[in-house]
Every structure is written in structure tokens, then in C-alpha cells.
Amino acid sequence: MTFDAVDVIRCKRDGGRLTDAQIGWVIDAYLRGVVAEEQMAALLMAIVLRGMEPAELARWTTAMIESGDRMDLSTVDRPTVDKHSTGGVGDKITLALAPLVAACGAAVPQLSGRGLGHSGGTLDKLESIPGWRAQLTYAEYLAQLADVGAVVCAAGPTLVPADRRLYALRDVTGTVESIPLIASSIMSKKIAEGAAALVLDVKVGSGAFMKNAGDARALAEAMVWLGAAAGVRTVALVTAMDTPLGRTAGNALEVAEAVEVLAGGGPPDVVELTVALAREMLGAAGLAGRDPADVLAGGGAMDTWRRMVRAQGGDPDAPLPAAREVHTVAAPATGLLSTVDAYAVGVAAWRLGAGRARKEDPVSATAGVVLLAKPGDRVTVGQPVLALHTDDPARLPRAEAALAGAIRVGGPASRLPLVLDRVGEG
């Protein structure tokens, strides 16, 4: 069935409900070049302003999945479960979580992305490991799942190509901020991955995409509903992102910290969230009998990490790259450190070279920020609180500028519970 693109735009502009046939046609026609970029941009803006009913959202997500291939994991002999984070600062959780859950008996088939702006990307972090490669063939992907139990790699070009096109268009047309469009973008890719269960980590706070708890819960509910509608057991945790996770933000720096966690140490907040998400993943996979905290302490997850890195060409024993320049930022006063703003730290790490402004930009493996103190610690004036790592000292002034007002001393520490809410059954 053929429609007129302008009629579809007008329907949503005027608050109408798009039919299943209209949605299926407009996604397909856009990919074929029948619907022009400016027409799809107009429709996306209408969705931002008018929203989507649940039935529309479900059909939109399905149409995006149908634009490409779905992965078949039926040959994997372990329960399959994936995890997705909406992104934050210092969020290296996947690095320890995937091998931990695999060590507990599940298969973790994770297709990850790269960082953009202040939010880091898992693939960028892993690529700081000498030799590690993000691109795997489908046969390599399945073989690693069967052998190791965990794989973290880049998605192929045939997985939800509609999302790749729409994401790029939303980025340049001011149409990113829409819960239906965000939910369908995330869930189309996760459903197409083929895992039987999914745990979502929906961040909220200054360093997250969602700035308030109401929006974060609404996004979590929309994604859990989409997962359940597609037959994927889905649970979401809403977690705090006002302060960076752990003590590092930056690619190699975060890998080193994740390895500390796998070795039985690491920052308490990273350990806490890793274990909380692992418990949810194992519960969703029907493997709730083993406590991941015990497996983590026993070293089993470290063994799986080393196998996972080696399977993708990396050397888990090779030294990680280190920055040539390290500059410290001092506490402005004496007292209790109350705030280290996550967004400011993320922007500083980005400006030091750890992130990118455009998808095609290169990133530095060594750049980033190390927190030498966290909210709740007592500091003295002049004491180093942050360490800025970079290979290019010309980047330091703009990174320091991003941190103006980010460190506050005095008053109560801004430490919310790490897990703020849970959405889903069980």
C-alpha cells in the first residue's frame, strides 16, 4: 500500500494516530528514498510534539526491526540475556558485568556502540586494549558465545538500518528528546539481537540523558513494555548519574578500573551496580541460584574476561596506554566534598580527547579524568581532587573551563542511592 508522505506528516502533526500500514510504509519508503530527508524530519518533529500511543510505538519499533536482519541465537546452549545502559559518565559496568554473568552460566550477546559527546562508548574503551577488535563476523560472534559465553562487539550494517538513518537525522534536527523515539531506537536494536531476556540500566541525573526521575521512569516503562510485547523478558533499573561512576572517565582509565573490579577490588559503587545488574540478568535468564557477588570474589569472572579479550584479538596482559600529560584540579576550600558534577566531568573528558563531537571523529585511548576524591570525602583547600589525563596539553584549558563550578565543598554530599527504582515483573 502506498501513501502520501505529506498526509502522514499532517496526521501526526494534527494529533492523529498513525495506522500500522502508514508506519510500515513510511519507514520502508524512507529507506528506499521515496520519503525525503526533510519529510522524515518533519514527521519526527511531529512525533516529538505530539507523542505516540502505545500501539503506534509498538508498530514503529517493529517496522524498524523489519528494516534489517534479526539475529538467530537458537544454537546457543545457554540462556541468553543482554544488558543496555542509556549512557553516563564513567559507566564501565559492561566491562565487568558481561564476563561476570557469563561466568554464572548465561550467554551475554552484547552489541555495543561508541561514545558521542560527554557519554563514553563501550567499544572505544575496549579498543584501548592492544589488539582488541570490535568487528566480528556472525560465525565468530556465535562461536565466541558458545565458547566463552560473552561477546561485546559492534553491530553489523544489516541490524536495524532504519535506526542508523533515523538516529543521524534526529541528531541534526533537534528531534532526539522524545521518549517514544528513544525507546524505539534502543529496543529495536536489542530485540533484533535475539536475546531471550534484557536488563536495562536507565540513568538519571546531570550526567545522564534523562535529567529527572519522572522522565527516566517513563522511558523505562516504555522500553519494558516494548520488550514484553516482543516476547523478551525485560526489566529496568533506574540508577543515579549525578556523580561519575567509580573514579575514572576515559577509555583506558575505565578498562583499568573494570579489571580492578574483576580482581576483587575497585570502587564500591561500580561493584554495587555490577552485582545488582548481574542479579537482575541472572534472574531474567532463569539462573537466580548463583550469587554473582560470590563469583566475582572467587575470580571466575576474571578468567572469563581474559578469555573474552583474547577471543577478540586482545592481549589481557599488555600494559594499557597511558597519557603523556597529567594535570590536577584542586579543591577550592576545606571541608566536606559535596558535589563532583557528572556532566562537567564528562565534558572535560571529551575535551581532553576521550570522546567525539561527530561519529566519525577519532578518540584518544589515554585521555580522561580521574576522581581523586568523591562526594562525602573530606578535603583541604589546594588538595588535588581531579587529575586530567591527555596526550595534548593544548586541550587542558578547555577541559578546565568545563569544570568551572563542578566541584563544590560544604553542605551535604550529593549522594543518592545508586538504584532509585525498578520497573518490570518479579
Q: Which residues are catalytic?
A: 84, 163, 170, 185, 189
Cα Rg, the chain, nearest whole Å: 22
Which residues is 150 bridged to in the sheet?
A: 108
Strands 384-390, 368-371: pairing is: antiparallel
Unique residue bearing C-alpha cell 532526539: 176
DSSP 272-330: HHHHHHHHHHHHHTT-TTS-HHHHHHHTHHHHHHHHHHHHTT--TTSPPP--SEEEEEE
Distance, in Å, from the CA atom of 197 to the CA atom of 209, rounded to the nearest integer, reads: 24
DSSP 41-70: HHHHHHHHHH---HHHHHHHHHHHHTTS--
Instruction: Give the number of other Cβ atoms within 10 Å of residue 350's Cβ.
Output: 29
Nearest Cα to Cα of residue 335 among 391, 396, 368, 376? 376
End-to-end CA distance of the chain: 42
CA torsion sign for 59, 64, 70, 76 is negative
Distance, in Å, from the CA atom of 219 to the CA atom of 186, rounded to the nearest integer, reads: 11
Distance, in Å, from the CA atom of 7 to the CA atom of 3, rounded to the nearest integer, reads: 8
